[in-house]
Structure 1
Amino acid sequence: MSTATDEDVKVLHSMGYAQELARRMGGFSNFAISFSIICILAGGITSFPLALGTGLGFEAFVGWLVGGLFALVVAACLGQIGSAYPTAGGLYHWSSTLGGRGWGWATAWINLLGLIFVVASVNVGVWLLFRDLVMGGVFHVDVTSLTVQSLDPLPAGMSVDQANAINSHAIWAQIVAVSLITVSQALINHFGIKLTTMLTDFSGYMIFVIAIVLTGTFLIWGATWDVSRLFTFVNTTGDLGGGYVPAARPAIIAFLVGLLYPLYTITGFDASAHTAEETQNARVAVPRGMLHSVFWSLVFGLAMAASFVMASPDLAATAKDGGSAWFNLFNNLPAPVVLKDVLAIGIVAANFVCALAGLTSTSRMIYAFARDGGLPGSSLWKSVSPTWRTPVAAIWLGAVLSVAATLYSPAFAALAAGCALFLYVSYAMPIAAGLFAEGKTWTEFGPFRLGFWSKPLACISLLGVLVLMYAGIQPPFDILINYAIGAIVLMLALWFGIERRRFKGPPVGADIAKRASEIASAEKAVGQSV
């Protein structure tokens, strides 16, 4: 082992945990896994109609800037905590350490729900992009039977029965496709972090290249260069935005709902923390990975959004295309066919790796929570393969749960909003705990410190998440109220009925010393690394 790795293991032991996972990720890999989950080629494309359907070009450009800067503030706050406590399942451990085991237990469930929505929503997006860009665009297959048809109004020449039959077929096709995609991602995760890291490292470079080429393509072959579009707000809720937000809403509400465009995209950067136990020099690499992944996503995503806005021949008409807005825009670009085909395939590949990295993050959350006894059947979910050094059972549980989420809510927009809402709430929880614990029970920090800015930035993060919560339950995302109420009721019942007495949380004080023999046994069991 290197000196840095020895220090990483020493820090991990000091928190009462064994080095079971393989510590093979460098600083770039830690950045790349978060950058791959954020993936501006995922939400930056699939959620673009939401921006047009709430505030046209202003929402896409200024909204991206506002949302991106807010995400950067949140990442800085989390980075400071992650530098002090570099563990898998970071958010859960941080909330438990700084706010108590009950607060940590609730954080774990909310973060887990958000991560499941990440994998579910992106994999639905992978299917939609593959269907429309590759099957329809590259191979010119008629995808009508795979596309949900509007019932109000009905497509020309189509009866209600025909539309219902097509919709039933389209939904089942999506379920099968998403299931197959998720299984393939679980298999890649199963066979070691090395394979996953190779793909996410490649994806990190690929996202940069494709984003630059895609932006250039829109600007060269489509740009009107009407810069005023980027700064002119038009409330397009209701029919003006193709019904993407069905009911007309006041301008301020429209703008807030539109912030789900950048905030759905720029999320999942907690992957750098979830893979802390697989990262060398984690106390430095984790906060750097989170901050850099958010910053570069903000910069490149802003340029990309601007190119989309300026490439539309008629922005108001594009907004009326609703969920098909970006696809129609791309398909009608007079760019070389070969270039568009390569971009289409690259976009789908980047989205696939995005969800692959999301499943990695989800499995580490499950593993970390289970090893402290937080999940039913924890002994299974915390197990690590001695051959592959991965939490195999946790990987497959995450895969099953993410597919199940698409069965309850197959609509991409609801899954995307749920992802942003639940993840940012889970981000706010350790930040809130840290705000009250800093300088009191929290006195030991890592090398990354915010200093004077720590508490002001924490307050901004908490206020911003409250605003996001309000925006995230507006129609058409009000289905999330059912998720939220159900989750709150279930968590309260479980905590006060069972878990408050049973769940001990992460080891503290004397419990850490008592784990010495368990740590040695666990590390011996996975000692034959691959």
Structure 2
Amino acid sequence: MYGFLGLDGATHISEELPNPERTVLRVIVMIMIIGTITSIPWTIAMLFSTTDLDAVASASVPVYEVFLQAINSNAAATFFTVWICFIYYGAMVSCFVTSGRLIWVFARDGGLPYSHCFAKIHRTLHAPVNATILPGAFMIVFGLLYVASSAAYNSIVGLAIMSTNLTCAIPQTILLFRGRRVLPKRYFNLGRVGGLFCNIFSTFYAGLYVVLFCFPLAIPVTAASMNYQAAVLMGALVFVTILWYGWKRHTFHGPSLDGEGVVLDACDVNNKKHAHEGE
């Protein structure tokens, strides 16, 4: 799943892209191709190279243990582990941009507490700086949770993956009940048969995945090995429900800005930047 987590990243900045109906689609297709090319060989190599799964499961850095068993060299295992860390740090930039755009759009429409603060655009950087800083600050605080309880930390991290599947399955489930004929004309169309198959398969797969992902990792179950994702999910739903009925249902009425205007603004900023560089 981690190989395809960036699948929806381009959709969150679609308002800033020219021709998003084509550009975003191409990015999504390329992510699927790159994720398949990289994830499948890695998985096959890991399965053939790992000789002691218990050692990997109990290791403080499992990927280091996988490299160590495959290469039998501490230096090489350290090198490849550090290499992956650098890749993760590079990917973090995209994660901050994506999460910052999500927060900015939601705050722009009045859906977050203190929306007026996170909806601001920096005058010189032409970017939602406040909305981008917020997830970074949250990650610093959230990282401290690992010190208190690794089980709770892992449950919340796993919940992020499960929530990604749920958010993709919910609109497809709605399409199954309403019918695909309500969809507008679009650049990429799977047709009645292909689209219906994808909707049915995605809905059932996501439902199965959510159930399996809530199971504990080992038996007998202890407080340390318990999977708390179901509890965390229910807690998040209760929090959002209280926030909605107690506050935001009076201020949030859905998107209030035409995306075309954002695209034009973004293009205008880029044109001015290139013109300034040309001078």
TM-score band, normalised by the shorter chain?
0.7 to 0.9
Q: Structure 2: where are the runs of 5+ without partners?
A: 217-224, 274-279
Please show how residues 257-268 of structure 1 align to structure 2 within 5 Å.
263-268=1-6
| Root mean square deviation, CA, Å | 3.1
Aligned counterpart, 1:356 = 93
Of 40, 45, 53, 1:307 maps to: 45
Corresponding position: 1:296 with 2:39: no
Secondary structure (helix, strand or coil) at the match of 2:6 reads: coil
String of CA shifts for 1:3-47, please: whole Å, max 9, x gaps: xxxxxxxxxxxxxxxxxxxxxxxxxxxxxxxxxxxxxxxxxxxxx
Corresponding position: 1:385 with 2:135: no
Question: How many pairs align?
Answer: 256
Please show how residues 9-408 of structure 1 align to structure 2 within 5 Å.
263-312=1-50, 314-316=51-53, 318-319=55-56, 321-331=58-68, 333-334=71-72, 337=75, 342-408=79-145
Aligned counterpart, 1:481 = 230
* Residues in 1 aligned to 2:269 and 2:48: alpha-carbon distance in whole angstroms: 56
* Residues in 1 aligned to 2:123 and 2:226: alpha-carbon distance in whole angstroms: 43
* Residues in 2 aligned to 1:367 and 1:431: alpha-carbon distance in whole angstroms: 25
Q: 1:342 to 1:281 in 2, by over 3 A?
A: farther
Secondary structure (helix, strand or coil) at the match of 2:254 reads: coil
String of CA shifts for 1:100-144, please: whole Å, max 9, x gaps: xxxxxxxxxxxxxxxxxxxxxxxxxxxxxxxxxxxxxxxxxxxxx
Corresponding position: 1:449 with 2:193: no
Secondary structure (helix, strand or coil) at the match of 1:505 reads: coil
Aligned counterpart, 1:425 = 166
* Residues in 2 aligned to 1:408 and 1:374: alpha-carbon distance in whole angstroms: 27
Aligned counterpart, 1:461 = 202
Q: 1:310 to 1:318 in 2, by over 3 A?
A: farther
Higher RCO, 1 vs 2 (CA within 8 Å, ≥6 residues apart): 1
String of CA shifts for 1:126-163, please: whole Å, max 9, x gaps: xxxxxxxxxxxxxxxxxxxxxxxxxxxxxxxxxxxxxx
Aligned-pair identity (%): 18
Q: 1:433 to 1:406 in 2, by over 3 A?
A: farther
What amino acid is aligned across from residue 234 of structure 2 in structure 1? Answer: I
* Residues in 1 aligned to 2:8 and 2:108: alpha-carbon distance in whole angstroms: 19
Secondary structure (helix, strand or coil) at the match of 2:241 reads: helix
* Residues in 1 aligned to 2:32 and 2:226: alpha-carbon distance in whole angstroms: 25
String of CA shifts for 1:358-411, please: whole Å, max 9, x gaps: 111100101111111111221221111231121111001121222233334553
Of 469, 484, 501, 2:250 maps to: 501
Secondary structure (helix, strand or coil) at the match of 2:5 reads: coil
What amino acid is aligned across from residue 391 of structure 1 in structure 2? Answer: P
Q: Structure 1: where are the runs of 5+ without partners?
A: 1-262
* Residues in 2 aligned to 1:346 and 1:323: alpha-carbon distance in whole angstroms: 17
Contact 2:112/2:248 (8 A) holds in 1: no
CA positional deviation for 1:444: 1.6
* Residues in 1 aligned to 2:6 and 2:269: alpha-carbon distance in whole angstroms: 31
Q: 1:431 to 1:439 in 2, by over 3 A?
A: closer
Aligned counterpart, 1:148 = none
Secondary structure (helix, strand or coil) at the match of 1:268 reads: helix
String of CA shifts for 1:284-310, please: whole Å, max 9, x gaps: 121221222123212321111211222
Contact 2:107/2:118 (8 A) holds in 1: yes
Contact 2:162/2:210 (8 A) holds in 1: yes
